[in-house]
Structure 1
Amino acid sequence: MDISGLSLTELRRLQTRIEAEIRRRSDTARKELLKRMQKLAAEHGMSLADVLGQESEKPAAPARKTPPKALAQPARKAAKPASVIKFRHPENTAIGWTGHGRKPQWVIDWLAQGKALEDLRASTEAAA
């Protein structure tokens, strides 16, 4: 079959027909194989489920191209606990810093005055 003379539309139609035929033949082959396996197991006095070690004799579901919606969504990470405030602003105790990341300007100013960072440490009772 020479496909070089076909238009793009004709090629796409042909591709669709080919994919449908592949699916049909694959399903037919799977069903025939299942019947042959069941017959062979019966000849030995067993069911296919016995041979496969399964509880029921249901044929396996065909593979999906796309996963079900429940499986398609990425797993969510557990939420991180809120960071604990380790240092408080000397004048406004509502402002705090965890000690991680960039130092806030008020901490930089405090240290520039020659004062110790430990003087800004939040009390453990206030954190609880």
Structure 2
Amino acid sequence: MPSLEQIQAKMKKLQVQADALIAKKAQTAVDQIRKIMLAHGLTTEDIEAKAKANREAKAANGSASKVKAKATGSPKGATLPKFQHPKTGATWTGHGRAPAWIANVKDRSKFLIETGADASHAATAGTVSKAKTTVKKAAAVAGAVVHKGQRKGPQPAKYLDPKTGATWSGRGPAPTWLAAAKDRSKFLIAAADTVVTTGSATGNISKPKSSAVNGTVAKQAATKKGVAKKAAAEKAATVAES
């Protein structure tokens, strides 16, 4: 029976022979590759560029496959949950036997999970609500800027209707009796000409009247009388001719 040393020596000899055969085959392969490269005018850079392109294409295909696998990762036939318990987080698809937490509930709508159109509607409603709030805030700020420096509370009367006695402060929309007037100066209240008349000993004070207003009323009355006289004269002439 051979000893251990003899077996190890034989193994080394065989390993040397195996290495020599491997080297010979490798050299043969290299010679063949070199011959092909010379025949086609190729270099090692060309081979490396081609190998790099192949590696990048393979990596890109692998990434696309992973994305597709994630997109289609949900199991076939899986039904999304339709109801959810607000406290425990337990869900139910709405198919099959109802769980205990919803089995005896008459109105199950409060357990519905917002999905699809419901979620979109809720998001749209929230956006509209935020937009309305923003518009209100902007209007409030604009109003504060416009009215900044103006007197607060009731404004003193600036215009007076001589017929009805109605007044207007000059701020805000003009009343009907003044809106169509081209010359508003004849409706102005002359504060300097205001006459305050003290009443009897009881302390009653009459309302202030403006001389300018009285003059305007007198002019209007005279105009009306002239028009009436002219109409009467024309009528009398017509009767006389007939």
Report if TM-score (shorter chain) is over 0.5.
no
Structure showing greater relative contact order (alpha-carbon pairs closer than 8 Å, 6 or more residues apart): 1
TM-score (norm 1): 0.33
TM-score (norm 2): 0.22
More helix by share: 2
